[in-house]
Amino acid sequence: MTAAPTPAGGGLPAGPPLPGGLDTPCLVIDLDVVERNSQRMAAAMSERGIALRPHIKTHKSVALARIQLVAGAVGLTVGTIGEAEVMAKGGVEDIFIAYPLWASDPKAERLRQLLEMPALRLSVGIDTPAGAARLARAIGEPIDRLIVLVEIDPRYHRTGSDPDRAGEVAQAAQAAGLHVSGVFTHGGHGYAGIEASAVAARDEVEALRRAADSLRRAGVEPEIISAGSSPTAMGAAQPPVNELRPGVYLLGDRQQVHLGASPPDGVAVAVAATVVSDAVEGQVVLDAGAKSLTKDAPAYLAGHGFLPAYPDGVVERVSDYHGVVTFPEGGDRPKLGEVVAVIPNHACPVVDLFDTFVAVRGGQIEGRWPVDARGRSG
């Protein structure tokens, strides 16, 4: 690897300003940028008449979810029962677990406990007749409070029913006693690049259109037709889609800027790190490594993060607690002891490494806020 390539999205991420006195490595989130991102997405969806149900697996914070709800989100999307438990306990009343749950005994017990919360509207994903049957059997009586949506594969080929056979899954679910409210999809193949994002958005819309037809043919009316990912959000915001579930847009990251899904000044998150060594020539070493930045590195980004103050630096290698940053010959570089911001390649797994984040507003520390659902991966 040499220097970081110019991002396809047309700009270099700026990232939040760092307050002084930080104990590194730590996660910093700029609340001004969070609020701006939150309002921007809510306005864009409102203009298009589309419900916004943001995915909170990116930030896992009840307080940040509240900002999204205040800005106009109709409810939240989560990826796990653990995230649903944390958000429900935090007072959120409309939660969709956008995941094809397999209702094992421990999972069914936890779902039943959630269904006992009288104010909570809970919906979950299914993608096979067998999964639906198991869910209905395992839940038992509180089944009339559980809403299900059929997951559709939009050619991402991860999970989800074939669009044209979604009606079969819906029918099996209804036969088992579940209330089917619609269909959902996730065009994750849009993360492959800026052109792939446009293709994936079209794939989401097309797959959902076919799936909705398949449900109708099976006698099930799809009230909710839900697409979702930050890179595809704008492209997929068109009929018959009536709900969107983007997540990373709230914090932004290096990948979103590259994909054109976040403006360069739309990145609210950084890992603050200190230069701990310049003993080896031609590089400096940060105290943020794989346990702070992860090894998540899409092929189109050089290195494991981006230093806005030193844009020629490449976080070439990470080990658990070390990030080795190299520079072109003669390039400007931070000094021993200096604290720098590192924009993560991908915010979601990075936030999940920290129990708390430093919430800043106007460059000042507002507090240390919990990453409430950290580690709630099941």
Binding site for a copy of itself (CB under 8 A): 21-26, 57, 79-80, 99-102, 104-107, 110, 127-128, 130-131, 134, 151, 153, 157-162, 188, 274-280, 283, 285, 287-292, 294-297, 317, 319-322, 324, 336-337, 339, 348-349, 352-355, 374-375, 377-378
- By DSSP bridging, strand 314-319 and strand 76-78 are unpaired
Tokens representing 326 are 């190299």
Tell me the C-alpha distance between 189 and 204, whole Å.
Answer: 10
The least CB distance from residue 275 to a copy of itself, in Å, is 7
Q: How far is the CB of 200 from a copy of itself (least distance, A)?
A: 14
Is the CB of 119 or the CB of 280 nearer to a copy of itself?
280
Please say which residue, 53 or 376, places its beta carbon nearer to a copy of itself. Answer: 376
Query: Minimum distance between the CB of residue 222 and a copy of itself, rounded to whole angstroms?
Result: 18
CB of 97 to a copy of itself, least distance (A): 10
Separation between Cα atoms, residue 11 and residue 9, nearest integer Å:
6
Q: Are 176 and 137 in contact (CB under 8 A)?
A: yes
Instruction: Report DSSP state, residue 55.
Output: B
Closer to a copy of itself by CB, 53 or 71: give it: 53
Angstrom distance (rounded) from CA 174 to CA 170: 6
Residue closer to a copy of itself by CB (options 92, 285) is: 285
Q: How far is the CB of 137 from a copy of itself (least distance, A)?
A: 12
Quote the CA–CA distance of 323 and 272 in Å, as a whole number: 12
| Alpha carbon separation from 214 to 81, 165, 186, 218, 233 (Å, rounded) | 28, 6, 18, 6, 24
State the minimum distance, in angstroms, from the CB of residue 332 to a copy of itself: 19
- Looking at beta carbons only, is 96 or 354 nearer to a copy of itself? 354
Distance CA 115, CA 100 (A): 18
Whole-angstrom Cα Rg for the chain? 21
Is 95 in contact with 78 (CB distance < 8 Å)? yes
In the structure encoding, which two tokens stand for residue 277, read together?
């060594």
Q: Compute the least distance from the CB of residue 111 to a copy of itself, in Å.
A: 12
Enter the DSSP assignment of 24: S
**CA 76, CA 93: separation in Å to the nearest integer?**
9
Element (H, E) at 82: helix 81-89
